[in-house]
Amino acid sequence: MSSPIAQPISIPPDQFSLEDQLATLHERPEDSYGDVLFVMPNNNKHASPRLTIPLPSRIWAHSALLAVTYSKPLSRLGDIYSSLTYAEGYYVDTLPQRSPCNLPYTIVVVSPENDLVVRKLVAGCYRPVVIRNLWEKMGGKREMLLALDEGVLLACNSVKPHDTGIVDGDILTMGTMDDGDRDESVGSWTTRDNLFQGDVTLKIEGGSVSFSMHKFLLDLRVPYFRTMFRSAFSEASMNEHTLSSEYFTPLSLAIVVQYLYFDDAELLFSWKWTDFARYLNSTKCSSDINAPSQDIFDIFIDALVSAKFLQLESLEWWITNCLIKIAHGFACNGAQCARFLPAIAVMGYQNNIADLYRPCISWLAKHSNISFLWKRNMLSLPEELKADLVDTVKARLTVSNVIPLYLRLYNLRQNTATSVFKDDWEQSLVGPLLEYCAEFVSYHFAEPRIVFSAARGIHHKPPSTTYNAIEDLFSLVLANLNKFNAAPIWRGADCYTKLVASAAIVEQLNQAVISWFAQNWRDLVVMQSSSGHPLSGSRTGFVTFNEWPDESLQKLSMQIKVPLSDLKGLGATARSFELRKEKWLEKCRIMEMNRLMRRQECLKVRDEDSAQFSSIVDTHVDYQ
Per-residue confidence (pLDDT) for residue 567, from 0 to 100? 76
The stretch 453-475 carries a mean pLDDT of 88
| pLDDT tens column, 53-73 | 566 788 888 888 888 888 888
CB atoms within 10 A of CB 167: 5
595-616 pLDDT tens trace:
888 888 888 888 887 887 777 7
Are 296 and 145 contacting, i.e. CB atoms less than 8 angstroms apart? Answer: no
Q: How far apart are CA 408 and CA 317, in angstroms?
A: 36
What pLDDT, on a 0 to 100 scale, did the predictor assign at position 64?
A: 87
Average pLDDT over residues 431-450: 93
* Rounded-to-integer distance, Cα 567 and Cα 518, Å: 11
Q: Is the pLDDT of residue 171 over 80?
A: no
Find, among 367, 486, 468, the residue nearest to 414 by Cα. 468
Q: Which residue has the higher pLDDT, 107 or 433?
A: 433
- Give me the helices (H) in 138-244, please: 143-149, 184-187, 192-197, 215-221, 223-229
The pLDDT score that the predictor gives to residue 462 is 75
Could you count the other beta carbons within 10 Å of the beta carbon of residue 7?
A: 12
The pLDDT assigned to 173 comes to: 33
Phi–psi pair at 330, nearest 5 degrees:
55, 45
Q: Are 262 and 132 in contact (CB under 8 A)?
A: yes
Q: How confident is the model at residue 91 (pLDDT cuts 50, 70, 90)?
A: very low
35-44, 217-226, 316-325, 527-536, range with the lowest pLDDT: 527-536
Residue 256 has pLDDT above 80, yes or no: yes
The CA distance from 166 to 200, in Å, is: 25
Instruction: Quote the crossing angle between the two packed helices 431-443 and 383-395, to the nearest 10°.
Output: 20
Residues in the chain: 624
Residues contacting residue 614 through CB under 8 Å, at least 6 positions apart = none
Cβ contacts of residue 75 below 8 Å, gap of 6+? Answer: 173, 174, 175, 176
Local confidence band at 434 (pLDDT 50, 70, 90 cut-offs): very high
- Kindly state the percentage of the chain with pLDDT values over 90: 19
HSE-CB for 530 with a 13 A CA cutoff: 2
Residues 397-412 have a mean pLDDT of 94
pLDDT at residue 3 greater than cutoff 60: no
Ramachandran angles phi, psi of 189, nearest 5°: -130, 25
Distance CA 58, CA 33 (A): 16
Residues 6+ apart with CB under 8 A from 231: none
* pLDDT per position as a tens digit, 291-345: 777 778 888 888 889 999 998 888 888 888 888 888 888 999 988 899 889 999 9
d(CA 455, CA 466): 11
* Beta-bridge partner residues of 59: 38
Question: Using CA atoms in the order 479, 483, 487, 493, what is the torsion angle rounded to 10 degrees?
Answer: 20
In the chain, % of residues over pLDDT 70 = 76
